[in-house]
Structure 1
Amino acid sequence: MTVLDMAVLDDAAFQLLKADVDAWVRGPGEDFANQIEATGIVPPELFLDLKAHGFLGLAAPERLGGKDIPFSRYLELMEIFSRSHASIRMLVHVINGTWRAMDEFATEAQRDQIVRPSVAGDVLVAFTLTEATAGTGADIRTTVRREGDTYYLSGEKQLITFGVKCDYWLLLARLEGSTGQDGTVALLVPNAGLPGAEVIDDSETMGVRGTDHAILHFDNTPVPVANRLGEEGQGLTIMLGGFLLPSRVSVAMSCVGLAERAQELAVEYANRRETFGKKIADRQAIQFYLAENYADIAAARALVIHAAKAFEEGAADAGVLSSASKMIAVDMLTRVTDKALQVHGGSGYWKRNPIERVYRDARAQRFEEGTNEIQKLIVGRAVVTGAVTN
């Protein structure tokens, strides 16, 4: 029995699993990272390798074919994956999370056709919420019109990760004429050349190279009512509570992992680089940068683990802590990567140095799963209404 075959991991087995993930990240993962940066494409072999190692079904329950690793412990693995290339982290993060949105509201037929194959790595589901002309919540404008057993979908989505190559879009829309949360529906829309569906590849990004992103246009695209998750009016609950709440904590931990990689690169460079016959690691200014980074990372990591355990326990403040952890971790990552690049001096600005890629990739978390401005609104409202206290 391998470590990943165990239904319940004791601590010793989990440490072996962490070591296995770390070895993969530093070995094959780094080779894939270099290939992605050189070509701008995630090779199919990467997906197959992640699947073969069981890395795509870490967090899902056994009944869905997953490894049933508790969320807070899974995040320790996400921390390690996030030290790798951003597209590798994105694959592991999304596939280990979308099942949460689907499972509670899926029919058994939907579980067999989509949810379980997603956990197995046989079906790719893209979370499809963001729009160009609206926010990412109750103000969405994409609509459906129901005629018998068919919805007719019209509207636009953008910045949809894996939206080009996915098998299904897990998509939020609203019934024509509805407002707010009422009338929102979550649909599993097959990416199969449906009438009226247009997929535009929008993958040329600053960082996170290789991950495909899509702009989607729908014009009276037919979607069977049987492809709806849950009931009409539950769409926003499915998308926000089912996916975004834990996903924000996962993104926060990805900030921690990437910051740790930036710090590691800065320390290595500082111990190698000499000026005026002295390693820059011995210079007080550099030590101050590294000390501030160490404290910043440790503080953010503690809050992320606290938020993860609150989600596990179903705590009343889990949602607020989710936003708070992402807010703090994102700002931490900005500071740490900036100082790590500064330690490298001008050399860090060149693509031949890994810190350049880390610096570019770090910018994406500032808006992934909701901007920091949105997180501050969520936390601020909870504080002023007395919903949370310190």
Structure 2
Amino acid sequence: MTTQGRADQGPELVEGPESSSAVEPGSYDKLVAEVTEWVVGPGEEWADRIEATGEVPEELWTELRERGYLSMAAPRRLGGRGLSFEQWLGLMEIFSRSHASVRMIVHVVNGTWRAMDPFATEAQVDEFVRPSVAGHKKVAFALTEPGNGTGADITCSVERDGDTYYLSGEKHLITFGVRCDYWLLAARLAGSTGHQGTVALMVPRDVTGATVLDTSQTMGVTGTDHAHMIFDRAPVPVANRLGAEGDGLAVALGGFLLPSRVSVAMSCVGLAQRAQELAYEYATQRVTFSQPLTSRQAIQFLLAENEADIEAAKQLILHAAREWEAGSPRAQQLSSMAKMTAVSMLGRVTDNALQIHGGLGYWKTSTIERVYRDARAQRFEEGTNEIQKMVVFRELQKSKGS
């Protein structure tokens, strides 16, 4: 997983929905209640601890794993809970009201299986996919590079010698790239161009020839680690390749990118709801000239705009999710529409929420300060708004026969 935008330039990507299985409504309602209770209770305690220390402790990963929160979205055959995509989004919305690093862990682990599973052999499913779904092995998505974009122009390369690839090049902005067990890494065969020469490799974190630099000092999403990796002929078994030679970008972008964009969009809704909640609570308690701020029409209008903004984005996201599950040809365009709409909404809502708090909101003692910082990161995940607009326009051209 990276926090830099990814352009799906190159091969025409075929993205299909997973099984439409779902958890029975009564059981799902109990799960929603359980997650909500955790987010407002232990989740807030973790948030305070992370902000105070600047680190996400391993104990948090353990707690999330033991509660089953890292295996919710995957199908039962992989050890997951078998939620439908729309059900998963409902939980993503709740988790996103918590600390951004909590949301990041849950989002990433519940999503990387989508990239691996369609291309994995049965042996690879047992070695990589199921342990990842169970939360026993951490897999970091490694696509972004420092010297180019994030698509068919990747330059990290491999040379094959018998049953071994020798990996050279750099990756950066790799979320969980420091603490992971494997990098799910896209590279290309040395001398190749375009998507035809790309490969996807499960690279062990402790591979020789790899230098890992911790670049975790970010504006928000405190505690989530990010890595810059440099490879100098690092040996990777050919058996660790997912799919065939030429499938690298299909693995990295194919069945993973679209639902992940929708999931990130829903995380914007959850964080915006948290900002709105904080703003409303503050406005009802803050008294000026003997009246609460909620008596001021200017504040009423800001809160009303926020409420409408959040609901509009949420409904577009749910529409995109349903279209993807149904295998609609519009799913790709709708996923980008949802992501760019949700990100813009989140910016407006958190800005309004901070404004309602006045000067006090600028202090780190106010929760809205953290929410405001964390919201800015959403603009980069799974593609910037500029990338989303490119995708939407490209699909528009197709629909017009241009």
Please give the range of the TM-score, normalised by the shorter of the 2 chains.
over 0.9
Instruction: Report deviation, 1:384.
Output: 2.4
TM-superposed deviation, 1:8: 5.0
Structure-to-structure mapping, 1:151-300, within 5 angstroms: 151-192=165-206, 194-300=207-313
Query: Where does structure 2 lack aligned partners over 5 or more consecutive residues?
Result: 1-20
Deviation at residue 12 of structure 1 after TM alignment: 2.4
Q: CA deviation at 1:387?
A: 6.3
Worse-matched range after superposition: 240-249 or 336-345: 240-249
Cα distance in 2 between the residues matched to 1:318 and 1:77: 21
Query: What amino acid is aligned across from residue 163 of structure 1 in structure 2?
Result: G
Q: In the TM superposition, what are the counterparts of 1:71-110 in structure 2 within 5 Å? A: 71-110=85-124
**Residue in 2 that maps onto 1:304:** 317
Shift of 1:306: 0.9
Task: Read off the aligned partner of 1:304 and give its amino acid letter.
Answer: I
Deviations 1:233-256 (A, max 9, x none): 111111112221111110000000
Query: Match of 1:169, as an amino acid?
Result: W
For each residue in 1:280-301, what CA deviation from the matched residue of structure 2 results, as whole angstroms up to 9, or x when unmatched? 0111000000000001000000
Amino acid at match of 2:139: V
Aligned residues: 382
CA contact (8 A) 1:102 1:242 kept: no
Partner of 1:319: 332
Q: Deviations over 1:312-334 (max 9, x none)?
A: 12211211111111110000000
Q: Are 1:52 and 2:60 an aligned pair?
A: no
Percentage of matched positions with identical amino acids: 65
Q: Distance in 1 between matches of 2:22 and 2:221?
A: 33
- Give per-residue Cα distances to partners, 1:200-259, cap 9 Å, x unaligned: 000000000000000010111111110000001111111112221111110000000000
How far is 1:385 from its partner?
Answer: 3.0
Counterpart CA distance in 2 for 1:8 and 1:232 is: 34
Deviation sequence 1:37-78 (CA, Å, 0-9, x none): 000111111111111111000010111100000011100000
Deviation at 1:35, TM superposition (A): 0.3
Which SS does the other structure have where 1:203 is aligned? coil
SS of the aligned residue for 2:234 comes to strand
Normalising by structure 1, we get a TM-score of: 0.96
Q: Which residue of 1 aligns with 2:3?
A: none
Deviates most, 170-179 or 352-361: 170-179
| Paired position in structure 2 for 1:3 | none
Separation in 2 of the partners of 1:119 and 1:89?
16
**3-state SS of 1:218 partner:** strand
Report the TM-score when normalising by structure 2. Answer: 0.93
- Pair 1:138 & 2:152 matched: yes
Structure 1 CA distance for aligned equivalents of residues 39 and 401 of structure 2: 38
Aligned residues of 2:22 and 2:87 also touching (Cα < 8 A): no
TM superposition outliers: structure 1 runs of 4+ over 6 Å? none
Structure 1: gaps (5+ residues): 1-6
2:383 aligned residue: 370
Contact 2:158-2:189 within 8 A present in 1 as well: yes
**Shift of residue 28, structure 1, vs aligned partner:** 0.5
Residues 337 and 359 of structure 1 are in contact (CA less than 8 Å); yes or no, is this contact kept in structure 2?
A: yes
Counterpart selection for 2:356 from 331, 334, 343: 343
SS at match of 2:196: coil
Moved more, 306-315 or 50-59: 306-315
- 2:110 touches 2:133 (CA, 8 Å); kept in 1? yes
The structure-2 alpha-carbon separation of the partners of 1:153 and 1:328, relative to structure 1 and needing over 3 Å to count, comes to same
Match of 1:127 in 2: 141
2:339·2:388 contact (CA, 8 Å) conserved in 1? yes
Distance 1:312 1:206 in 2: 35
Aligned Cα root-mean-square deviation (Å):
1.3
